[in-house]
Structure 1
Amino acid sequence: MIRRPLRPLARVLSARAEGSDPDLIEAEERAARLAQRHREERRKAETRLMLLGAVFILGFTAVGARMTLLSAAVPVEPRGSAGSEPIHAQRADIVDRDGAVLATNIVTASLYAQPRDLIDPANAARQLAGIFPDLDAGDLTRKFTDGRKFLWIKRTISPEQRQRVHDIGEPGLLFGPREVRLYPNGAVAAHILGGAGFGREGVGAAEIVGTAGVERQMDSRLRDPAEVDTPLRLSIDLDAQVALEEVLAKGMADMNARGAVGILMEADTGQIRALASLPDFDPNLRPAPPVSGDPADSPLFNRAAQGRYELGSAFKPLTAALAIERGEVTPHTMIDTKGPMKWGRYTIHDFHDYGDRLSVEDILVHSSNIGAARLAIGSGAAAQKAFLGRVGMLAPVPVELSEAARTTPMLPRNWSDLSTMTIGFGHGIAVTPLHLATAYAALANGGLLVHPSILASDWRPGEADRVISARTSAETREMLRQVVARGTANIADIPGYDVAGKTGTADKPLPQGGYARDKTISTFASFFPADHPEYVLVVSLDEPVTIINKTAFRTAGLTAVPVAAKAIERLAPVLGLRPEYPPADPGRTADGGKSPERAASLYTLAGND
């Protein structure tokens, strides 16, 4: 900036020429210079004030906007900056094939304490023990006063319990939001659903994870945020499930059995309509797993998917089907059944002496061990093993139950000729009832191996899944129909519903080796209607015994078959199957029952196996 001169020469000379005082010019210039400086300082001050005002306006605008956002947001529990993943409590519902809810989430609360905020710890502990009988007042008092800052009291509480805790009036007792898994049908389908529990937990949420059954097997699908609003639809029919469980529970009690299994499967698709294992449990109050003893003693044990049993004569139709498929026999081929049958130092017996020769059909009808053994050794060990592999008997059942994937069949170490014969009539190999149901579906549906599933789908087997020819399947179906019509399963000959199937009674192995003579697994594997099978039903009873005329019977014909017959009578209407009555049978009375003479002969047959 150029400073103004205080005594401009031109003005001084002009003043002198005019006779004015040149000193006045200096005074004027000083005043002008001072006024200019004041103007510049004022301008700077005004600029600073404007900038400061703009900063204040921007600052208050930002604070106001942030406060608006915070007031509109849902409050959540503060989280550390360590980058931990949030806890997702949501979990998709599980429904049956018709949309009935089998499992869902409900909102409840958790209870925790901040002991340093408790006004009267002893009184709080005493009142909490009154609300929750499983809590000990002395133990709570000790924990409230030992210096800790946080204490879980209850992971979940009911609304009534929350109100009672609230009425205590202690500021140190706090509630956190919780979602818990609810099974509205209680113990129904317990072994299918399995159960769920808490994974990672925080004050504001808890992760729900599957612990068994479909809840565990499909855990990632059920917890997927993208799928949480889409229920997982099972193939289970809730009405059929309830009916099967009720019949099975009564049959288990009537037959004094230790346990029971029931499996209802669609013959053409492998979709499971109902699956029951007794004793069962309530998934809402799932008990703790056993830490010792026999796992089968626990209600958590899924006998259908985990129980490996020698299923006895129920294997004989597989032996006959293999021989027919290989072209070695037909249903009417006569087989040597003269007994006892010697093989080295071992002897194979039949329950009764059935004569020197029986047809293949009558081997099944009368359940001849000797006849099945001769069919099996005729096919050979390699063919038998390969066939059992094709029908799924040598690997875990690929069903959506976590227990099934961990259950491998028990096979002979050395598949010898003797093993081949004993496996031919269901001994020396232990599989689950689910294995048996899968194999029977292939026998019934025209020879196609199904993939058993509890998930609803449109999948059906194709020619790539064929294990036997349609002709072998048809001939096997007819033979199994004869087992019910005039053989060991005659009690299942239900008027209006043509049932086909095979009984099986196997002595239970002892832990120290050998077999118990008074403990059996009795099984009836069946399908219906016999001429165009729609459903496979397998019923097994663990250690059944029924008393008839003061005599104890353990054979499947008098234990498992009556229970299965009741189940079919209950299930058929539920499944929409109408009874079909054939022309009058001389062996039946006018009301559809069996005549006394025929009933007596069939009763004798039922005691064979």
Structure 2
Amino acid sequence: MIRTPLRPLARILPARDKGENPDAIERENIRARHKQIQDRSRARAEGRLLVLGLFFFSAFLVVGARMGMLATSDPTEPMASAAGTPIAAQRGDIVDRQGRILATNFETHSLYAQPPQMVDPVQAAKGLVEIFPDLNEERLIRDFTGKRKFLWIKKKISPEQKQAVHDLGDPGLMFGPREMRLYPNGRLAAHVLGGASFGKEGVNAAEVIGVAGVERQFDGYLRDPANAGKPLQLSLDLTVQAAAERVLWGGMRLMNARGATAVLMDVHTGEVVSMVSLPDFDPNDRPRPPTSGNDPSVSPLFNRAVQGLYELGSTFKIFAVAQALDLGLITPDTLIDIRGPLRWGRFAIRDFHYYGKELSATEVIVKSSNIGSARIAQEIGADGQRAFLNGLGFLDPTPFELVESSGAQPLLPKNWSELSTMTISYGHGLSASPLHLATAYAAIANGGHYVSPTILKREGPQYGPRVMSENAAAASRAMLRLVVTSGTASFGEVPGYAVAGKTGTADKPKPSGGYYEDKVIATFATMFPAYDPKYVLVVTLDEPSENSGSEPRRTAGWTAVPVAAEMIARIAPLLGLRPDIEPKVLAGITLAAD
């Protein structure tokens, strides 16, 4: 910018020569400069006013357009929102091996109150008690008329209940959207699924978290947004599970048992196709854990299949014989000295019946001789027995995908002495779960390979390390078949399906030590079809008593075996196994065409 001097010499000098006043020139230049400054300020102000005017015009235009849109749209109720950490509400479905829904999500509502906004708190409390009889009217009135600003009333309500609350008309009663976990099959597979509850909760959402079973085991997978739309597929078969639960419930009632469990497992893949524990519960309304008592098994939440640690009785005898066969110590025809009682210090081992002086190894299993089994175990030794049972998975919790399984550590003898070796050979002195037993029998059924049990669907055989030779496994299966055809499990034969298995009856231990005289754990471990086993089934009854005769009968042959046989007859066709029988020709009946 070029500034013009206020007293330019080019004009001052000529003005002096002419006798003019030079100050007038300076005053004139000052007026011209001030006029230029005023003109620039006026132009700048006019520009700013123009921009501000355009801004206000645009704002009024946007507001007008929005008002026009609202005037032409359908009215909706505004929803309150608050800043905070967003709650992940979506949870993946759980399906069975056929893709049928076991657990899914259901949209419902929660009910809460804001007492400062209530018009008639007392009347609102009375109305809520009529809708929800489990609420306490006096407490509601106290909360509504006190200093509380916010109050949860119900975390989940039905559409009918929501409408009834809405009809009360109190503005202080409000609803929030809620996603809840729904188990459409009710009690079916309750112990496997476990159940879910709410974690972080807000007015507009609630976090659903697993509390037990696969819901807790796979909680991270089910809540992972990356798995959205991809369900968790289990190895369970919904139809087989329903049939197994129905039969086991009837068997438990018929045998007057305190509880019961059944595990059905594929011997080649390790898939658990059915797992039942009774009594059970509805995961839609999961009961609270017991707060008193020393026996956890009294709770319906207790999963007997994986958490129940029992002395499984004579079902263990086949392991002693199988190991001896594998080591070449015996053959199926080797004679075993069973003269008794067999004494070890102050302890004596006896048989349930007198079987003579000696039995073959096969007859030891068929007739279930404690002494014969103990004699064989003596030949094996404590270290060998322990190593063999460890290979079958009896010394550690099963690697099964339920949180309850990890805590089921088998009860082992503190000192694995020769006496322990003998008693463990016929199922006393070591407590394990029915799932442990099913896993061990699967190794015999599949030809000698350990298979890890799983609740997830698998494709193809999943063989682990070999724990016995194929010949030892085949000979053991032949012995177990004879147990059904001519031994202690004669009630276990199912027409069309060759069944092999072993009974086990163990006295139930007292919490204070010792054993009950009239309470037992009855177990039948079976595999079918016997000549090419596909499945292992273990049925265990807690304190059964068959009372149709003059005296109660508690042994597994009278209690667990008939229940297992009925279960096999029901579920074998559902598993796709065809009965191996020829149709009979009915006398006097001919087929005539129309």
Is the counterpart of residue 457 in structure 1 residue 458 in structure 2? yes
SS of residue matched to 1:465? strand
SS of residue matched to 1:226? helix
CA contact (8 A) 1:508 1:520 kept: yes
Q: In the alignment, what sits opposite 2:251?
A: 251
For 1:145, the aligned partner's letter is: T
Question: What is the CA distance between 1:11 and its match in structure 2?
Answer: 8.1
For 1:281, the aligned partner's letter is: F
Is the counterpart of residue 237 in structure 1 residue 237 in structure 2? yes
For 1:420, the aligned partner's letter is: T
Is the counterpart of residue 162 in structure 1 residue 166 in structure 2? no
Question: What is the CA distance between 1:449 and its match in structure 2?
Answer: 0.6
* CA gap 1:55/1:268 in 2 versus in 1, 3 angstroms: farther
Q: In the alignment, what sits opposite 1:599?
A: none
Is the counterpart of residue 41 in structure 1 residue 38 in structure 2? yes
CA contact (8 A) 1:448 1:461 kept: no
Deviations 1:173-224 (A, max 9, x none): 1111211111000000000000011112222222111111111111111111
* CA gap 1:150/1:64 in 2 versus in 1, 3 angstroms: farther
| Aligned mates of 1:523, 1:264 — CA distance in 2 | 14
2:4 counterpart (2, 14, 17): 2
Deviations 1:552-606 (A, max 9, x none): 111111111111001001111100000012899xxxx999xxxxxxxxxxxxxxx
For 1:213, the aligned partner's letter is: G
Q: In the alignment, what sits opposite 1:106?
A: 106
* CA gap 1:92/1:59 in 2 versus in 1, 3 angstroms: farther
For 2:411, the aligned partner's letter is: M
CA contact (8 A) 2:12 2:25 kept: no
Question: What is the CA distance between 1:330 and its match in structure 2?
Answer: 1.1
Q: In the alignment, what sits opposite 1:607?
A: none
Aligned-residue identity in percent? 53
Is the counterpart of residue 78 in structure 1 residue 82 in structure 2? yes
For 1:250, the aligned partner's letter is: G
SS of residue matched to 1:376? helix
* CA gap 1:222/1:30 in 2 versus in 1, 3 angstroms: same
Q: In the alignment, what sits opposite 1:338?
A: 339
Is the counterpart of residue 309 in structure 1 residue 310 in structure 2? yes
Q: In the alignment, what sits opposite 2:591?
A: none
Q: In the alignment, what sits opposite 1:493?
A: 493
SS of residue matched to 1:540? strand
Question: What is the CA distance between 1:485 and its match in structure 2?
Answer: 1.3
| Aligned mates of 1:114, 1:580 — CA distance in 2 | 70
The size of the alignment, in residue pairs, is: 572
| Aligned mates of 1:12, 1:419 — CA distance in 2 | 137
Q: In the alignment, what sits opposite 2:592?
A: none
| Aligned mates of 1:178, 1:456 — CA distance in 2 | 31
SS of residue matched to 1:546? coil
Question: What is the CA distance between 1:86 and its match in structure 2?
Answer: 3.0
Q: In the alignment, what sits opposite 2:324?
A: 323
For 1:233, the aligned partner's letter is: Q
- The gaps in structure 2 that reach 5 residues or longer are 71-77, 588-594
SS of residue matched to 2:431? coil
* CA gap 1:62/1:249 in 2 versus in 1, 3 angstroms: farther
| Aligned mates of 1:127, 1:356 — CA distance in 2 | 81
| Aligned mates of 1:453, 1:493 — CA distance in 2 | 28
Deviates more, 1:41-50 or 1:331-340: 41-50
* CA gap 1:335/1:114 in 2 versus in 1, 3 angstroms: same
| Aligned mates of 2:578, 2:265 — CA distance in 1 | 18
* CA gap 1:61/1:221 in 2 versus in 1, 3 angstroms: farther
Matches within 5 A, 1:187-586: 187-293=187-293, 294-458=295-459, 460-462=461-463, 465-581=465-581
Question: What is the CA distance between 1:56 and its match in structure 2?
Answer: 6.9
Q: In the alignment, what sits opposite 1:605?
A: none
For 1:168, the aligned partner's letter is: L
Q: In the alignment, what sits opposite 2:590?
A: none
* CA gap 1:311/1:582 in 2 versus in 1, 3 angstroms: farther
Question: What is the CA distance between 1:87 and its match in structure 2?
Answer: 2.1
| Aligned mates of 1:202, 1:63 — CA distance in 2 | 37
Question: What is the CA distance between 1:461 and its match in structure 2?
Answer: 3.3
TM-score by length of 1: 0.88
| Aligned mates of 2:360, 2:506 — CA distance in 1 | 23
| Aligned mates of 2:47, 2:28 — CA distance in 1 | 29
Deviates more, 1:124-133 or 1:26-35: 26-35
| Aligned mates of 2:56, 2:98 — CA distance in 1 | 59
Question: What is the CA distance between 1:59 and its match in structure 2?
Answer: 9.0
For 2:553, the aligned partner's letter is: F
| Aligned mates of 1:231, 1:451 — CA distance in 2 | 23
Deviations 1:105-157 (A, max 9, x none): 11111111111111111111111111111101111101112211111111111
Q: In the alignment, what sits opposite 2:73?
A: none
* CA gap 1:55/1:273 in 2 versus in 1, 3 angstroms: farther
Q: In the alignment, what sits opposite 2:74?
A: none
- The gaps in structure 1 that reach 5 residues or longer are 17-21, 592-609
* CA gap 1:37/1:107 in 2 versus in 1, 3 angstroms: same
For 1:404, the aligned partner's letter is: S
| Aligned mates of 2:472, 2:326 — CA distance in 1 | 6
Question: What is the CA distance between 1:348 and its match in structure 2?
Answer: 1.2
| Aligned mates of 1:394, 1:478 — CA distance in 2 | 27
| Aligned mates of 1:323, 1:46 — CA distance in 2 | 111
For 2:320, the aligned partner's letter is: T
Deviates more, 1:214-223 or 1:438-447: 214-223
CA contact (8 A) 1:449 1:461 kept: no
CA contact (8 A) 2:271 2:456 kept: yes
* CA gap 1:60/1:424 in 2 versus in 1, 3 angstroms: farther
SS of residue matched to 1:553? coil
* CA gap 1:158/1:60 in 2 versus in 1, 3 angstroms: farther
For 1:522, the aligned partner's letter is: A
Deviates more, 1:574-583 or 1:506-515: 574-583
Deviations 1:499-529 (A, max 9, x none): 1110111110112222112111111101111
SS of residue matched to 1:552? coil
Deviations 1:41-94 (A, max 9, x none): 2333223433454467679979999999xx9xx9773225xxxx4321221111
Deviates more, 1:31-40 or 1:470-479: 31-40
| Aligned mates of 2:268, 2:218 — CA distance in 1 | 24
* CA gap 1:396/1:61 in 2 versus in 1, 3 angstroms: farther
Q: Please provide the CA RMSD for this pair.
A: 2.9
| Aligned mates of 1:350, 1:29 — CA distance in 2 | 139
SS of residue matched to 2:263? strand
| Aligned mates of 1:391, 1:438 — CA distance in 2 | 7
Deviates more, 1:6-15 or 1:446-455: 6-15
Deviates more, 1:446-455 or 1:56-65: 56-65
Question: What is the CA distance between 1:281 and its match in structure 2?
Answer: 0.4
TM-score by length of 2: 0.90
* CA gap 1:338/1:203 in 2 versus in 1, 3 angstroms: same
CA contact (8 A) 2:7 2:25 kept: no
